[in-house]
């Protein structure tokens, strides 16, 4: 199903942003090296620049070179130049010996051990050559990429436009967060968790009013939501009498790519396109909404944002206790990952609406559909929250 999402979604428009605003955005054009990196051979230790052939032995210190400077002379036979980390290696030298490995006596140093040519030297262009591609388009920029852009002198960064995502909750039982719900009502929490997930995935969320269980108002809100790049609907996609979302979308000429997935929570899940825009009908229970966004809607949002590599991060961890489940569906169960990421412990919960349990979890265990019994010590995949 992820392949369906990848193939259906199109790339967004391009724009440029200042370097300081580029973190988290998706690069839209290749970035090439403007020069060799490093531009000169540099020392990676504090010590002395020497000729390896002269060691071990006693050497004459003929000068000093710091980072940000260059040494105008040349290292000759049985000579050395004191050098700092990051400073360019003087002509004639082919190795650096560390301060800790020599004895300084006035203008001379005594090295009791040899050195291999190239020792503690970062050669010119060893990191990248001029015109090499440093960053490829389609990459979401992290802080290391920002450092590379700055080092390459990129002040304005070409990025893909961040997708606008409209979010609509459906149902007569939903009231605003500011209201005190009656016993048969619930506050509108799903739109806020979705907005947080959208923002984390690089989108720009827009929360629309609640769609009540009536065709006319629901259609009006869906049409409004289809002006965004992606529409997320929470609830109204099951088989109940008042689950009208799919009917409204059909009336708008929607093309449905799929309308059910074999997971729990989250079986009733609709993905399609209407009026040239993509939509997801997500289940209405909180954990179902959260899980199906992370597995499916996030992939669509990342593709719409220009990201090329789309992959669920589901590492393995060892179970700390045994459990069993009914076979037939892949289940995503709340759990707690140890601080070192090596072990995972299931968390007791009361089903898809148990938000307090979700807040105690750091991951969802991914329980294979056809395996009923798991023992302590077994490896199991986890989906990061």
Give Dmax (Cα) for the chain. 93
pLDDT-based confidence at residue 6 (cuts at 50, 70, 90): low
pLDDT at 330: 95
Q: Can you tell me the mean pLDDT for 3-27? A: 84
d(CA 281, CA 269): 6
Secondary structure (DSSP) of 68-108? T----SB--TTEEEEE-TTPBPPBT--EEEEGGGEEEETTE
Q: For residue range 220-249, what is the model confidence (pLDDT) as tens digits?
A: 999 999 999 999 999 877 655 547 888 899
Q: Can you tell me the mean pLDDT for 19-28? A: 96
Is the distance from CB of 218 to CB of 224 less than 8 angstroms? no
Residue 383 tokens, joined: 């989906």
pLDDT at 313: 85
Is the distance from CB of 289 to CB of 270 less than 8 angstroms? no
Q: For residue range 103-122, what is the model confidence (pLDDT) as tens digits?
A: 999 999 999 999 999 999 99
pLDDT at 242: 47
Give the whole-number percent of the chain exceeding pLDDT 70: 96
Q: Can you tell me the mean pLDDT for 91-113? A: 96
pLDDT higher than threshold 90 for residue 2: no
**Helices H, strands E: what count in the chain?**
8, 28
- Judge residue 209's burial from the number of C-beta atoms within 10 Å of its C-beta, 0-12 exposed, 13-18 middle, 19 or more buried: middle
pLDDT at 8: 65
Give the whole-number percent of the chain exceeding pLDDT 90: 82
**Cα atoms in the Cβ-side hemisphere of radius 13 Å centred on 353:** 5
Q: For residue range 263-294, what is the model confidence (pLDDT) as tens digits?
A: 998 888 999 999 999 999 999 889 999 999 99
Q: Can you tell me the mean pLDDT for 335-349? A: 95
Q: For residue range 58-87, what is the model confidence (pLDDT) as tens digits?
A: 999 999 999 999 999 999 999 999 999 999
pLDDT at 238: 62
Query: Greater confidence, 309 or 22?
Result: 22
**Mean pLDDT, rounded, of the chain:** 93
**Cα atoms in the Cβ-side hemisphere of radius 13 Å centred on 104:** 13
Secondary structure (DSSP) of 327-351? TTSEEEEEEEE-TTSSEEEE----S
Least confident segment among 3-7, 79-83, 174-178: 3-7
pLDDT at 110: 97
d(CA 359, CA 333): 13
Domains and CATH numbers, the chain: 13-36+133-160 (3.90.105.10), 42-122 (2.170.190.11), 164-304 (3.40.980.10), 316-384 (2.40.340.10)
pLDDT at 58: 97
**Cα atoms in the Cβ-side hemisphere of radius 13 Å centred on 91:** 4
């Amino acid at each position: 199903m992820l392949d369906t999402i990848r193939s259906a979604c199109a790339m967004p428009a391009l724009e440029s942003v200042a370097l300081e605003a580029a973190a988290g955005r998706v690069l839209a054009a290749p970035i090439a090296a403007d020069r060799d990196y490093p531009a000169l051979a540099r020392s990676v230790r504090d010590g002395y620049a020497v000729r390896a052939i002269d060691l071990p032995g006693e050497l004459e210190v003929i000068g000093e070179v710091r980072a940000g400077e260059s040494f105008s002379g040349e290292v000759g036979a049985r000579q050395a130049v004191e050098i700092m980390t990051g400073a360019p290696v003087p002509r004639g030298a082919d190795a650096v010996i560390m301060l800790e490995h020599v004895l300084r006596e006035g203008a001379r140093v005594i090295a009791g051990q040899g050195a291999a040519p190239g020792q503690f030297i970062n050669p010119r262009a060893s990191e990248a050559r001029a015109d090499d591609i440093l960053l490829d388009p389609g990459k979401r920029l992290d802080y290391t990429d920002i450092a590379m852009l700055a080092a390459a002198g990129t002040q304005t960064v070409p990025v893909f436009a961040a997708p606008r995502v409209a979010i609509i909750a459906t149902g007569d039982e939903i009231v605003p967060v500011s209201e005190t719900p009656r016993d048969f009502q619930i506050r509108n929490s799903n739109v806020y968790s979705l907005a947080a997930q959208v923002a984390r995935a690089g989108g720009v969320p827009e929360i629309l009013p609640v769609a009540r269980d009536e065709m006319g108002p629901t259609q009006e809100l869906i049409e409004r939501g289809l002006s965004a790049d992606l529409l997320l609907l929470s609830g109204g996609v099951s088989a109940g009498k008042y689950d009208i979302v799919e009917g409204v979308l059909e009336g708008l000429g929607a093309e449905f790519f799929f309308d059910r997935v074999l997971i729990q929570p989250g079986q009733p899940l609709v993905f399609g396109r209407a009026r040239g825009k993509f939509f997801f009908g997500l289940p209405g229970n909180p954990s179902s909404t959260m899980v199906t966004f992370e597995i499916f809607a996030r992939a669509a949002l990342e593709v719409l944002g220009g990201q090329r590599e789309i992959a669920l991060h589901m590492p393995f961890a060892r179970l700390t206790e045994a459990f069993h489940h009914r076979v037939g569906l892949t289940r995503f169960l709340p759990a707690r990952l140890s601080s070192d990421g090596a072990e995972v412990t299931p968390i007791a919960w009361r089903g898809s609406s148990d938000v307090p349990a979700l807040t105690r979890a750091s991951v969802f265990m991914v329980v294979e559909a056809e395996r009923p019994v798991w023992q302590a010590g077994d490896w199991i995949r986890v989906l990061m929250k």
